[in-house]
Amino acid sequence: MVVSPLIAALAGVVVGAILTLGVIALWKFARGSRELGSDGEQATYRTLHLASQAAGHLRGGLADQDAVRAARHLRTLLGCDVLAIADAGGAIAIDGPGEPLRQFAATLASTEFENGRTRVVAVPSDDERTSMWAVASPIVVDGAVAGVIIAFTETRHAPLVRATGEVAEWVSAQLRLGDLDASRAALAEAQLRALRSQISPHFIYNALNAIASFIITDPPQARELVLEFADFTRYSFRRAGDFTTVAEELRSIHSYLALERARFGDRLEVTLQVAPETLSAVIPFLSVQPLVENSVRHGLEAREGGGRIRISTEEIGADVQIVVEDDGVGIDPDHLEAVLGGQADGSHVGLRNVDARLRSVYGDDYGLVIETNVGSGTLVRMSVPRSQPLHDVELHRAESTEP
């Protein structure tokens, strides 16, 4: 058989391509193996990954439905046959073929654990040919046993006993963090209720009086003020989410100031200097509006000739800075220090609540910066990080649930 030179050349090209692809595949495999690291490094990664997966399901407590998902990750982490998580109330989450062990797990969870020590107990069985051990370690939170981790295994060995004890301590830490998150959420809600409560009947009375004064003399203006009042109250008393955007907060402030200008007339002058790139920045809900209200109520209302308020926003480095400044009567620095420290009641409570919320959300470096003195006006500067992925997600989730 005679093979043409063309066919031979094509065959050579195909074989060469196959060999080349094979070399590339082997090189990538070898490179990938090196990138994955040693067996020890891979084991460390798997352990951290499983712990991270379980942590997200434990923050709601042991009785939460997510505890079942946490049990799945913890069972893989410990390498036991069945894993049960029991809380102090008797709720049991089991992963693995352990439904027949549920009652035994509940009984074991109700027993006393001396000094928080791990216990190893033989599981009763009707079949003498099969045996199973239960390694139970208490989950201790604030000095009390909140639940038990129980690892069921056919082979009794010391490493599993130690590992179960370590996992129980780790679960205890996650529950404490969950309690801390709940406490912070409750504090944030209380602070928000306090800010809403400061939308005083005095302001509402003044706003409605201003609207009433225009009903006969200027009906179109009265209609506009009614719409502004509706927008302001709708925003202030909304229930969805603890975060908003600079644009939304400024829109509410516009409504608030429109109502106040109807009362003050030309005595209230407002200047806005807003950088467009800051409008989408995420900020705590009702964090700027109380600063503006503080300027009106405590800075300008007591001043016979009214005054000016300047609101500005700009990006500074990785932060968005918002400034509210007035030329009103000012605040005594000693009194202001007492207010921010929670040692004085009455006036300027809005400043204290906003300061506390900013510190709670972003840390002490993000507390309010206030420059003031008696007769010298007040400048309040607040800053928030420009990038807030978690709060941004929460904001969009809240917006999607609003009616």
Residues 136 and 227 in one domain: no
Q: How far apart are CA 123 and CA 347, in angstroms?
A: 66
Quote the crossing angle between the two packed helices 219-236 and 246-264, to the nearest 10°: 140
Last residue of a domain, one of 130, 150, 179: 179
Q: Which segment of 284-298, 309-323, 338-352, 354-368 scores lowest on mean pLDDT?
A: 338-352
60 or 103, greater pLDDT: 103
Q: What is the CATH number of the domain that holds 361?
A: 3.30.565.10
Tokens of 377: 């006006």
pLDDT given at position 325: 96
Residues 275 and 132 in one domain: no
pLDDT given at position 324: 96
Q: How many helices (H) and strands (E) does the chain have?
A: 12, 12
> Over 60: is that where the pLDDT of 14 sits?
no
Strand partners of residue 309: 270, 326
Residue 172 lies in a domain: yes
Last residue of a domain, one of 146, 179, 212: 179
Residues 100 and 132 in one domain: yes
115 or 287, greater pLDDT: 287
Q: How far apart are CA 270 and CA 261, in angstroms?
A: 9
Residue 15 lies in a domain: no
Q: Express each pLDDT in 100-111 by its tens digit.
A: 788 888 777 777
Last residue of a domain, one of 149, 179, 209: 179
Residues 311 and 227 in one domain: yes
Residues 214 and 262 in one domain: yes
Residue 11 lies in a domain: no
pLDDT given at position 278: 95
Residue 295 lies in a domain: yes
Residues 220 and 359 in one domain: yes
User: What is the number of alpha carbons within 13 Å of residue 232 lying toward its C-beta?
Assistant: 23
Q: State the residue range of the domain holding 110.
A: 40-179
Tokens of 39: 């067996």
Highest mean pLDDT among 76-85, 356-365, 377-386: 377-386
Tokens of 53: 């997966």
Q: Express each pLDDT in 326-367 by its tens digit.
A: 999 999 899 888 888 877 666 677 888 889 889 988 989 999
Residues 94 and 204 in one domain: no
Q: Residues 180, 394, 387, CA angle at the centre, nearest 5°?
A: 95
Residue 113 lies in a domain: yes
Residue 87 lies in a domain: yes
Residues 372 and 254 in one domain: yes
Residues 213 and 362 in one domain: yes
Residues 245 and 202 in one domain: yes
Q: Express each pLDDT in 207-216 by its tens digit.
A: 888 889 888 8
Residue 258 lies in a domain: yes
Q: What is the CATH number of the domain that holds 114?
A: 3.30.450.40
Contact 193, 180 (CB under 8 A): no
Residue 30 lies in a domain: no
Strand partners of residue 148: 86, 138
Number of domains in the chain: 2
Residues 143 and 232 in one domain: no
Residues 171 and 296 in one domain: no
